[in-house]
Amino acid sequence: MQPAVESIPELEALNAESRRVSAALLTHLSPIQSDMRIDAQSQLPADGHFYLLREGLVQYFYGARQIGIFEAGDLINLEHQRFSPAVRFQTDFAVVVDVYALTDLQAQLDSHAPVREMWSSLISVHAARLGAVSASLSKLHSEVAPKLLQFERGETIIRQNDKADKVYTLLDGSAEAIVDGKVVGKILGDEIFGALAAINGAPRTATVRCTSTCTVLSLPAENFIQLLDTHPHTVLKMIEDMARVIKELNAQVVR
């Protein structure tokens, strides 16, 4: 787990201990579903289940406020909804989880003392992580507030030479990149685009036009830069996307 914006060095030891205890605990349980894909912009069903996050990031909300972000290796929904009904877990991008039944966990807690000891340790570490993350919220000066936008086929999401004040993610649909009136590439699902100009303050280098109905996530550039400081997974995703686009552009030049 990491805080919503500002990283906390002392969390590393707590995160490592949480994952160590989680791995030991899960040797006593079998998932009811492995490698389940949760689509982008979804909420994880909390009632009756908890999750091992295999791939991706999951946002942790209490009410309307984002508290932190779960990473691969974290267990999610340790604070079951019956105890914390305001808690919810949401994805910006698709994630992969293993699903466990809380009834199976309860059966192990009732019958095995070692499992009870591991569970007690895990809850203590989780509480310490939540305390550290919550303390960081007082230092938060701005909130990451992505917006969900809808575009129809033929509509323009960004225009070449316009000011770059937002970064976008294509959640659903298809789009094409156009430079000086020529189609030079495609935008794929879950792909981040518009980031480079937003980071360096340059005008947009391409137009992005929808080739179908599109659902797009929009994030202010300053919030995206803040996110890059704390979540290197996002940086890696952006680099992969840009590398693909550059390859397509090179192919266009060769033609």
Domain boundary among 98, 123, 139: 139
Domain boundary among 139, 159, 176: 139
Domain boundary among 139, 160, 175: 139
- What pLDDT does 254 receive? 43
Are 7 and 130 contained in the same domain? yes
Q: Which of 88, 58, 60, 70 is nearest to 18 (CA)?
A: 70
Are 21 and 130 contained in the same domain? yes
Are 120 and 33 contained in the same domain? yes
Are 132 and 35 contained in the same domain? yes
- What pLDDT does 141 receive? 43
Are 114 and 161 contained in the same domain? no
- What does DSSP assign to residue 137? G
pLDDT in tens, 18-59: 999 999 999 999 999 999 999 888 888 777 889 999 999 998
- Average pLDDT (183-202) is 81
Tell me the Cα Rg of the chain: 21
- Least confident range of 12-21, 83-92, 103-112: 83-92
Structural domain including 245 reads 147-254
Q: Is the pLDDT of residue 252 over 60?
A: no
- What pLDDT does 219 receive? 82
| Angle at 108 (CA atoms; ends 105, 111), nearest 5 degrees | 150
Mean pLDDT of the chain: 80
* Percentage of the residues of the chain whose pLDDT score is greater than 70: 76
pLDDT in tens, 204-247: 989 999 999 998 888 887 776 666 555 555 555 554 555 455 45
CB within 8 Å of 221: residues ≥ 6 apart: 164, 165, 166, 167, 198, 199
The 3-state DSSP class for residue 156 equals strand
In the chain, what are the helix, strand and coil shares in percent, each to the nearest 5?
A: 35, 30, 35
Indicate the number of domains in the chain: 2
Q: What are phi and psi of 2, to 5 degrees?
A: -130, 155
